[in-house]
């Protein structure tokens, strides 16, 4: 079973920041937080991952709370093409199973 909890759906206005929360209260010390998204039944796309520090790349920012029990994915300027299902996944850094365990994710709808 997935170790994360996400809201089933969210809406965001185009051009505004989209903040997608994720709870992972049982996360272990050696587990990373990964984010993927799936646009309209395409293959999932990697977005970002982090351990405990905040991370930023060209797609998004990841904010992880100090106790690591929750995190937020931030799309700073959402566009219509960001409409997708966003999956938050926790997995071990090394030595564990390689598989990704997907939950139900958050369906983000970006409105014009």
Partner 1 sequence: NAGVMQNPRHLVRRRGQEARLRCSPMKGHSHVYWYRQLPEEGLKFMVYLQKENIIDESGMPKERFSAEFPKEGPSILRIQQVVRGDSAAYFCASSPQGSYEQYFGPGTRLTVT
Residues at the interface with partner 1 (CB under 8 A): 2, 32, 38, 41-46, 49, 87, 91, 93-94, 97-105
* Residue closer to partner 1 (CB basis): 53 or 97: 97
Strands (DSSP E) found in the chain? 9-13, 18-23, 31-38, 45-50, 55-56, 61-64, 70-75, 84-92, 106-111
Q: How far is the CB of 43 from partner 1 (least distance, A)?
A: 3
Please say which residue, 66 or 81, places its beta carbon nearer to partner 1. Answer: 81
């Amino acid at each position: 079973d997935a170790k994360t909890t996400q809201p089933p759906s969210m809406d965001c206005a185009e051009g505004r920041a989209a903040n997608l929360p994720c709870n992972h209260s049982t996360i272990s010390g050696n587990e990373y937080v990964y984010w993927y998204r799936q646009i309209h039944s395409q293959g999932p796309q990697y977005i970002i991952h982090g351990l405990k520090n905040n991370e930023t790349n060209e797609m998004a920012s990841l904010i992880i709370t100090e106790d690591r029990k929750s995190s937020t994915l931030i799309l700073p300027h959402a566009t219509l093409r960001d409409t997708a299902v966003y999956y938050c996944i926790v997995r071990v850094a090394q030595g564990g199973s390689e598989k990704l365990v997907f939950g139900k994710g958050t369906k983000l709808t970006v409105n014009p």
